[in-house]
Structure 1
Amino acid sequence: MDNFKQGYSIKDRQFWVIVTSLGLASVFVFAAMYSVQPLLPFFTEQFQISVSYASMSMSMTTLSVIFGLIVLGFLSDRHGRLVFIRFSIILTVLPFLFMPLTDSFFIIVVLRFIQGFAIAGVPAAALAYISEEIDHKSMGIATSLYISCNALGGTIGRLVMGYVTERFSWEMAFSALAILGIIIFAIVWLLLPKSRNFAMNERTIQKDLQGFWFHLKNPNLLKLFGLGIILQVSFTGVWSFIPYHLTEPPFSLSLKTISFIFLAYSVGIVGSPIASALAGKIGIHIVRTLGVFLLVIGILCTLSGSLFVIVVGLCMACLGFFSAHALTSSTVSRTATYQKGSASSLYLVSYYIGVACGSTLFSPIWSFFQWTGIVTIAAILPIIYILFLNRTLQKQA
């Protein structure tokens, strides 16, 4: 590129402006995405609906995120990153303003579907923005901090919604997130620097689609995409139905108390950097496998009758999940030999397919087998898949 400018390094003030702005954007959109998760039992009772119907407030958002990642990823390659990051935030705010005005759960699900598409604008453009504007030596730190904000946003969304709903009302909880989003939108609009090194993608959409098809014919990438789905199916399944489990005897916890248990999710903030550091010393496959086993052990701990053990187990599950997820994501980038960006996009799509499946397909398991059934399936799936993956990798070695 003729007018290419050196990317910002960790020593530059603009580096921290970018990291802070994108971090705040990430915090809000992921808070919005996972905000309804602790409210599923509340929705079931408040609107007199089934567990499966209540879970659609999560799964429909996720399906829309998947669609948005593909569409907005294409568009951001052609029209720039900044516009999609900014408008993703404000368009995510709007459904929160309308949700408190309706008493129809169907309308809430429709608004959540619209919101999901808007949410996708930040993850579709943020990492590309970082790769273009940050010096390659500082890119790893910027990316790790951004991904950590994903976990922080999920924690804040769950905590705010659960606490405010229990203390005041669900309408006020949605309004509180809307206010947070407006504040963050103003900060990002004012602070996030204009792109200096964006180059418009000259490829046709047909060429981009060919790139996707190229990756889908790569068996090694397909296995990694599959791991992303399986990890998220188990992880989301546990977090979607733990509120139902904890509202029942012998725990009988209030929504406010359950919202604080979601703080365990924040342990995932340190999962990515820890996993990356260990992978450099003992190998990425070993650390990823250890992460999966830690996830499974944590899930099994939730069968305990002790609330303390359950919380410890959830912390272990979060640490294991985010460690395995971070290393799987980086392995996708290394494995792809062509259009690495589209390979990463496909992994994100797989990841969110897992979110959708975990929040909806586990509903009949809960209905028939309760928490024991959820834990059994959530623990078995990752173990079987990681053993299969490691066995195929050994054969190729």
Structure 2
Amino acid sequence: MTGMESPALLERPRAAHEKRVTIALFAAGLTTFAAMYSTQSLLPSLSAAFAVPPAHAALAVSLTTGFLALAIVPAGVLAARIGRTKVMIGSAIAASALGLLLPLAPTLNVLLALRAVQGIVLAGVPAVAMAYLAEEIGAAGLGAAMGVYIAGTTIGGLAGRLIPSITLGVASWRWAEVSVSIAAALCTVWFARTLPPSRGFTPRPAGLGTLLGDLGRQLRDRGLLALFGLAFLLMGSFVSVYNFLGYRLTHRPFDMPAALAGSVFVLYLAGTAASAYAGRLADRRGHHRILVAALALMVAGALITIPDHLSTVLLGVLLFTTGFFGAHTVASAWVGTLAENRGAASSLYMFAYYLGSAVVGSAAGIAYAAGGWLGLVACVTALFVIAAILVASLVTAGRAAPRPSRARRPR
């Protein structure tokens, strides 16, 4: 450099880097969530193939997210030592390889064991992605970048459910799993080839005492603690609805074929749009306002699904999905705004997020078995009451995140 470059010229490499980061994390969301939820639309087929009830088949989702939750913090620690990009790429490759083994499982127990291991190796991407974005993207664009990443997770989640659903129309659940696992592997290649090296990362080798201290400081922050609770409740309610939606649509009064019932997952596209829009809107209007609106949309959507009319079920799921991804986008960006140690905070947020999927997603099977869809909606509504209390505590405690300035964070 000569020292004579204009600010616009100096900004170009940074903008190019941030664009590449955003695209790569979009691909990461695709491959991670396609793998994570590749069995969700297959649950009724797994129940039929292995003669097990819905709550048992649902373990093919809950075990993956549960073990992922347990591996979140260790994955974050490993990333702090060896680098965020190495952990994310290694995680995506290992998960894709395990996904290709799933169709070969001779029994449901073998399938569940593979899904549990896949959850462990998947942890490297969600454990690191939020912190990586916060380090590489300027403050003014963090909400939008987080929205693009989460949009990638919505499309990945859609692909993970829709691809096998379509395949079920012409083949068994094994071929359905083959199709989605190949798609996830291709997205992994795209992600690994696109992800740029970290610029804002500083290695932080730490012992157990330092790790526990870092995590403890995040848990003593009431604002962050409320956001961790929200992550648990949001994901728990969301995965519960989608775990048992297929059962409702393939049984009376709808009696839809499995492939047609699976096509309802196209409503995930509403989440794609909501993620990108909610991130930008939160940057301008404030996190708490958009979060309250998104939660209200989830409540309305859940209630609208109660009548046994296909049009109201689809409308309700559409609103519920839109609200969920909007709320998740805002809450995850809010963590990055409040936290001093973003790596530790994002690890705890994602731990709570996937723990909610595993715990509530499994427990909701009891509510569904006892009270059908109405019992499931009652369970989800109770979670929203707790979520509203947490949001109120954030606002009354003065932790509503301020609107970020247009200036970039110093590097």
Regarding TM over 0.5, the answer is yes
Query: 1:226-247, CA deviations, whole angstroms, 9 ceiling, x for partnerless residues?
Result: 2221222221111111111111
Report the Cα offset of residue 10 of structure 1.
Answer: 7.1
Report the Cα offset of residue 11 of structure 1.
Answer: 4.4
Answer with 194-203 or 212-221: which moved more.
194-203
Residue 159 (structure 2) pairs with residue 156 (structure 1): yes
Answer yes or no: is the 8 Å Cα contact 1:9–1:135 preserved in 2.
Answer: no
Query: 1:120-164, CA deviations, whole angstroms, 9 ceiling, x for partnerless residues?
Result: 112223333334444555544433211210111101100012111
Amino acid at match of 1:385: I
Instruction: Show the counterpart of 1:341.
Output: 343
Query: 1:333-375, CA deviations, whole angstroms, 9 ceiling, x for partnerless residues?
Result: 3333x42321122111111111112321011111111111001
Query: 1:228-271, CA deviations, whole angstroms, 9 ceiling, x for partnerless residues?
Result: 21222221111111111111111101111112101112211122
Task: Determine the C-alpha separation between the residues in 2 that align with 1:329 and 1:283.
Answer: 13
Answer yes or no: is the 8 Å Cα contact 2:305–2:316 preserved in 1.
Answer: yes
Instruction: Show the counterpart of 1:195.
Output: 198
Overall identity of the aligned pairs, in % = 30
- 5 Å-filtered alignment, 1:51-66, equals 51-66=54-69
Instruction: Show the counterpart of 1:310.
Output: 313
Task: Determine the C-alpha separation between the residues in 2 that align with 1:387 and 1:286.
Answer: 12
Amino acid at match of 1:253: M
Residue 189 (structure 2) pairs with residue 186 (structure 1): yes
- 5 Å-filtered alignment, 1:158-307, equals 158-279=161-282, 282-307=285-310
Residue 109 (structure 2) pairs with residue 97 (structure 1): no
Q: Provide structure 1 residue ranges, at least 5 long, that are not aligned to the other structure.
A: 1-5
Instruction: Show the counterpart of 1:350.
Output: 352
Task: Determine the C-alpha separation between the residues in 2 that align with 1:154 and 1:95.
Answer: 18
Task: Determine the C-alpha separation between the residues in 1 that align with 2:143 and 2:389.
Answer: 30
Amino acid at match of 1:293: A
RMSD of aligned C-alpha atoms?
A: 2.3
Q: Structure 2 length normalisation: TM-score?
A: 0.87
Report the Cα offset of residue 328 of structure 1.
Answer: 2.1
Instruction: Show the counterpart of 2:409.
Output: none
Report the Cα offset of residue 88 of structure 1.
Answer: 1.5
Alignment partner for residue 381 of structure 1, among 377, 380, 383?
383
Query: 1:53-110, CA deviations, whole angstroms, 9 ceiling, x for partnerless residues?
Result: 1111111101111122111111111101222222222211222222222220000000
Residue 345 (structure 2) pairs with residue 366 (structure 1): no
Quickly say closer, same or farther: Cα 1:8–1:87, change in 2 above 3 A.
Answer: farther
Instruction: Show the counterpart of 1:3.
Output: none
Answer yes or no: is the 8 Å Cα contact 2:100–2:178 preserved in 1.
Answer: yes
Task: Determine the C-alpha separation between the residues in 2 that align with 1:279 and 1:260.
Answer: 31
Amino acid at match of 2:356: G
Answer yes or no: is the 8 Å Cα contact 1:8–1:15 preserved in 2.
Answer: no
- 5 Å-filtered alignment, 1:312-327, equals 312-327=315-330
The count of residues paired between Structure 1 and Structure 2 equals: 389
Q: Provide structure 2 residue ranges, at least 5 long, that are not aligned to the other structure.
A: 1-9, 399-411
Answer yes or no: is the 8 Å Cα contact 2:126–2:350 preserved in 1.
Answer: no
Amino acid at match of 2:373: W
Quickly say closer, same or farther: Cα 1:329–1:16, change in 2 above 3 A.
Answer: closer
Task: Determine the C-alpha separation between the residues in 1 that align with 2:233 and 2:396.
Answer: 22
SS of residue matched to 1:167? coil
Answer yes or no: is the 8 Å Cα contact 2:47–2:57 preserved in 1.
Answer: yes
Answer yes or no: is the 8 Å Cα contact 2:163–2:176 preserved in 1.
Answer: yes
Amino acid at match of 1:288: L
Quickly say closer, same or farther: Cα 1:11–1:108, change in 2 above 3 A.
Answer: same
Amino acid at match of 2:175: M
Alignment partner for residue 109 of structure 1, among 102, 107, 112?
112
